[in-house]
Amino acid sequence: MAHSAPLPGFEAPAVGFEQPFEMLRACHERVQRSLDLLRRLIEYLDTRGHDRSTRSAAADVLRYFDIAAPLHHEDEELHVFPVLAGSADAALREAIAVLRDDHVRMAERWAWARGVLLGWRDDPEPTLLDEPSRALLKAFSDAYDAHIATEEGLVYPAAQAAFDATGLARIGAEMQARRRAA
């Protein structure tokens, strides 16, 4: 399978936890790369079928959404959303409510998508996608587009402004500690 875009986690911006909002944005880039790999995987399966490269691509997508994505969502739930939940800005409060709901729906869709990808990775003769399955994978992928746009365009700037240097260092250290524990 030719890779026109990097695999998840490769060639990502080099940011550290001392810049937690830059780290969150870098995670979004990795989400987009993983979703792009999923789209390319589906196209490849449609035209060429399963082989070693499709199994590897499925494993890469699984790895990202099983490990990194839940940690990213936890970062937002613990550090970004709470600081804005009491905002006087109704648009921010509404955005936070929608984003929290998104996390629940994304987790539900991932549970289903995960089963499909496990089959592609592990089953000696995995099934091809039917239309309902294809639609659900597309919905999983599409959900991230609006979610990321809201976070980066509205929520992250407002949340980042609410932290001083000490607060940013604290949340960065907590984010890093969760990843070490995982």
Give pLDDT, residue 178: 93
**Which amino acid does the sequence have at 45?**
L
- Write the burial class of residue 156 (CB in 10 Å: 0-12 exposed, 13-18 middle, 19+ buried): buried
Return d(Cα 83, Cα 88) in angstroms, integer.
12
| pLDDT tens-digit map of 2-14 | 444 443 444 444 6
Quickly count: other Cβ atoms within 10 Å of residue 66's Cβ. 12
Cα angle: 67, vertex 100, 157; to 5 degrees? 90
Give pLDDT, residue 15: 76
Return d(Cα 12, Cα 21) in angstroms, integer.
15
Q: Is the pTM of this model over 0.85?
A: yes
Read off the pLDDT band of 49 (50, 70, 90). Answer: confident
Average pLDDT, the chain: 90
Whether 8 and 69 have beta carbons less than 8 Å apart is answered as: no
| pLDDT tens-digit map of 136-181 | 899 999 999 999 999 999 999 999 999 999 999 999 999 999 999 8
Task: State the average pLDDT over residues 54-83.
Answer: 96
Read off the pLDDT band of 126 (50, 70, 90). Answer: confident
Q: Give which of 59, 76, 77, 78 is closest to 67, Cα–Cα.
A: 59
The 3-class SS string of 74-104 reads HHHHHHHHHHHCCCCCHHHHHHHHHHHHHHH
Give pLDDT, residue 14: 61
Q: Which two tokens stand for residue 159?
A: 């949340």
Whether 1 and 55 have beta carbons less than 8 Å apart is answered as: no
Determine whether domain 20-181 maps to CATH 1.20.120.520: yes
